[in-house]
Chain A
Amino acid sequence: DADVTQTPRNRITKTGKRIMLECSQTKGHDRMYWYRQDPGLGLRLIYYSFDVKDINKGEISDGYSVSRQAQAKFSLSLESAIPNQTALYFCATSTGTGELFFGEGSRLTVL
């Protein structure tokens, strides 16, 4: 089945370290998104990309950067991780007309 795959699924790191979360998809969708989930705050949009040459900031982009290496790959980087970036991160894809398809999530803990 076509899917959205995130790596790593779990990561523990220390303050100040650089972290990359990777997302790849076999759905053939052009549009890809990174969301962050925190209890009581829902899913907040970090960055989104409508194609390889189009990248946009979302609601909470400070402290994050992204790279769209190919239509199927969209990576999220934390250049210098801090404890309040501890969260569950989801990558998602869509055709742009409706449903988002989420990956399984990457749980990041920053000590």
Chain B
Amino acid sequence: GENVEQHPSTLSVQEGDSAVIKCTYSDSASNYFPWYKQELGKRPQLIIDIRSNVGEKKDQRIAVTLNKTAKHFSLHITETQPEDSAVYFCAATAYNQGGKLIFGQGTELSVKP
């Protein structure tokens, strides 16, 4: 089955700096890669996703890149703000898995003012 590894487990940046979180996956059949943000005491919520027919996707200050050959995908946050502080999870699945997402271990991002 699918296995997703996420690094780093914690990340501390200064406000305005960029943050990068990386994930690797094992199942070459995986073709959907979402990122979820979980604020303290809240439920995880989708912030951006990418499908395997695309190499990069941007939404304002966040972007995701995918390298299918290397089985890597990354989340990039530019111009970080204190409200970006949260736990971020990557995940992967294949369409034939019916939405059964396998998650990475999570990255706790702290943005210091």
| Same complex | yes
B46 touches A99 (CB 8 A): yes
B89 touches A45 (CB 8 A): no
What are the interface flags for A43-62 relative to B under an 8 Å C-beta threshold, 1 for contact and 0 otherwise?
11100101000001011000
Interface-lining segment among B11-19, B64-72, B76-84, B96-104? B96-104
Using a Cβ cutoff of 8 Å, how many contacts connect chains A and B? 60
Docked Cα-Cα span, A72 to B49, in Å, equals: 26
- The smallest beta-carbon distance between A76 and chain B, in angstroms, is 16
What are the interface flags for B51-90 relative to A under an 8 Å C-beta threshold, 1 for contact and 0 otherwise?
0000000000000000000000000000000000000010
**Interface: A41 (CB within 8 A):** yes
- The smallest beta-carbon distance between A57 and chain B, in angstroms, is 11
Indicate which residue in A42, A96, A98, A105 contacts B43 across the interface (CB closer than 8 Å). A105
**Interface: A102 (CB within 8 A):** yes
A35 neighbours in B (Cβ, 8 Å): 103
- The smallest beta-carbon distance between B39 and chain A, in angstroms, is 12
Partner-B contacts on A (CB < 8 A)? 31, 33, 35, 40-45, 48, 50, 56, 58-59, 90, 94-100, 102-105
Given known A-B contacts A98-B32, A98-B34, A99-B34, A43 and B49 have beta carbons under 8 A apart: no
| Chain B contact patch, size range | 20 to 34
- The smallest beta-carbon distance between B31 and chain A, in angstroms, is 11
Question: In the complex, given contacts A102-B44, A104-B43, what are 13 additional A-B residue pairs having Cβ atoms less than 8 angstroms apart?
Answer: A35-B103, A41-B105, A42-B89, A42-B106, A43-B106, A56-B100, A94-B99, A96-B98, A97-B95, A98-B99, A99-B34, A103-B43, A105-B43
Partner-A contacts on B (CB < 8 A)? 1, 6, 9, 32, 34, 36, 42-46, 49, 89, 91, 95, 98-106
A43 touches B98 (CB 8 A): no
A102 touches B34 (CB 8 A): no
- The smallest beta-carbon distance between B90 and chain A, in angstroms, is 9
Docked Cα-Cα span, A7 to B95, in Å, equals: 30
B34 neighbours in A (Cβ, 8 Å): 98-100
A48 touches B100 (CB 8 A): yes
